[in-house]
Amino acid sequence: MSVSSTHSVAPAAPAFVPAPATPYQGDIARYWDHEARPVNLRLGDVDGLYHHHYGIGDVDHAALGDPEDSEYEKKLIAELHRLESAQAELLLDHLGTVRREDTLLDAGCGRGGSMVMAHQRFGCHVEGVTLSAKQADFANRRAGELGIEDHVHARVRNMLSTHLETGQAAASWNNESSMYVDLHDLFAEHARVLAVGGRYVTITGCWNPRYGQPSKRISQINAHFECNIHSRREYLRAMADNRLVPQAVIDLTPAALPYWELRATSSLVTGIEEAFIQSYKDGSFQYVLIAADRV
Ligand SMILES: C[S@@+](CC[C@H](N)C(=O)[O-])C[C@H]1O[C@@H](n2cnc3c(N)ncnc32)[C@H](O)[C@@H]1O
Ligand SMILES: CC(C)=CCC/C(C)=C/COP(=O)(O)OP(=O)(O)O
Ligand SMILES: [Mg+2]
């Protein structure tokens, strides 16, 4: 499906755009305002859930069928999208009990795919923040098209200083968005907005302290996305300093590889595939889920 021309509702008013807190945040806002990679838009078009994160799980080769088949590329796109949605489902699995009346925070919400999934699963309110006005408009337009704009809303806000009231969120998350900020500042804000007993979840790529220091491929990924990948140790330390107590730490690296290996064979490659595949294989980079209790 396409979101461009089939609106059944009037487009939402453009989001209010506050000045970026730092020049770097201005760079990141511009980056995402201009992002339109087919690997993201064509996958999102499969069912209207637009993600900016990667996939987990085994490839369903039976569903893909014969690479010589004229429908193969379409099936490959659907399969990559299925794996990306499986990643978001796993994140939601770790949010704990969420009631319809609860409010959740998606910190760095992108085009809003995870927010829609959270609302569809729990019936709750979801507030998203992104630096990009284009992304916030996109997410709000999608929510309008789905008729869930009273429950799912994105704003142009800094995730280090959100509009949520202290203790307002029953749960909050970062889905591949924590590599753009200082982790102590980030977890201080999550600890502020989360109710005591609330749950925080992140899925992220991090460098592995067992490797020593960030590898060359991690530097490539940082340069590619203008981000700053943290170490696994930094995550755990910054959580401990901010009343976030890990309840689960899951190494998703083996589950992430099939997605990358399939993507590397597609026409939608962006050039970063080998850096992910090789750094996952050499042990310098890990894909992890961390779920923590706000105590
Ligand atoms: C890789 S995308 C992930 C999007 C989304 N979580 C998903 O899974 O589809 C990174 C997101 O982080 C957001 N971001 C980065 N730094 C931010 C900040 N300081 N405040 C708010 N959003 C931020 C970007 O605007 C972008 O939406
Ligand atoms: C795990 C790490 C280090 C993630 C960095 C953040 C990031 C850019 C995620 C994917 O976004 P995307 O879906 O827009 O990227 P792509 O175009 O490569 O699919
Ligand atoms: Mg993508």
Instruction: Compute the distance from residue 40 Cα to the ligand 3 centre, in Å.
Output: 5
Ligand 2 centroid vs 149 CA: distance in angstroms?
A: 26
Distance 216 CA to ligand 1 centre (A): 24
Q: Kindly state if the Cβ of 155 falls inside 6 Å of ligand 1.
A: no
- CATH homologous superfamily of 29-294: Vaccinia Virus protein VP39 (3.40.50.150)
Residue with tokens 């209790």: 293
Atom of ligand 2 nearest to the CA of 180: 6
Per-residue pLDDT at 14: 59
Mutate to test the pocket of ligand 2, among 53, 177, 251 (most ligand atoms within 8 A of CB): 53
CA–CA dist 215, 284 (Å, integer): 6
| 263 φ, ψ (degrees, to nearest 5) | -60, -35
Please give the distance, rounded to the nearest whole angstrom, from the Cα atom of residue 112 to the centre of ligand 1: 10
The single-letter code of the amino acid at 109 is C
> Does the beta carbon of 181 sit less than 6 angstroms from any atom of ligand 2?
no
Q: pTM for the full model?
A: 0.95
C-beta 25 within 6 A of ligand 1: yes
Alpha carbon of 243 to ligand 3 centroid (Å):
32
How many whole angstroms separate alpha carbon 236 and alpha carbon 96? 20
* 8 Å CB contact between 87 and 54: yes
Which protein residue's CA is at the shortest distance from atom 14 of ligand 1?
108
Ligand nearest to the Cα of 219, by number: 2
Which ligand 1 atom sits nearest the alpha carbon of residue 159? 20
Instruction: Classify each residue of 139-150 as buried b or exposed e, where b means 16 or more C-beta atoms within 10 Å of its C-beta.
Output: bbbbbbbbebee
Q: For the chain, what are the domain ranges?
A: 29-294
- Rounded CA-CA distance 170/102 in Å is 6
Q: Looking at the predicted complex, does its ipTM rise above 0.95?
A: yes
Determine the pLDDT at residue 3: 39
Give the model's pLDDT for residue 105: 99
Report d(CA 15, CA 18) in Å as an integer.
9
One digit per residue, pLDDT tens: the chain, 295 residues?
A: 333 333 334 455 655 678 899 999 999 999 999 999 999 999 999 999 999 999 999 999 999 999 999 999 999 999 999 999 999 999 999 999 999 999 999 999 999 999 999 999 999 999 999 999 999 999 999 999 999 999 999 999 999 999 999 999 999 999 999 999 999 999 999 999 999 999 999 999 999 999 999 999 999 999 999 999 999 999 999 999 999 999 999 999 999 999 999 999 999 999 999 999 999 999 999 999 999 999 9
What is the C-alpha separation between 245 and 253, in angstroms, rounded?
A: 22
98 contact partners, CB below 8 Å, separation of at least 6: 104, 118, 121, 122, 124, 170, 171
For residue 270, the ligand 2 atom closest to its alpha carbon is 18
The rounded Å distance from CA 64 to ligand 1 centre is 31
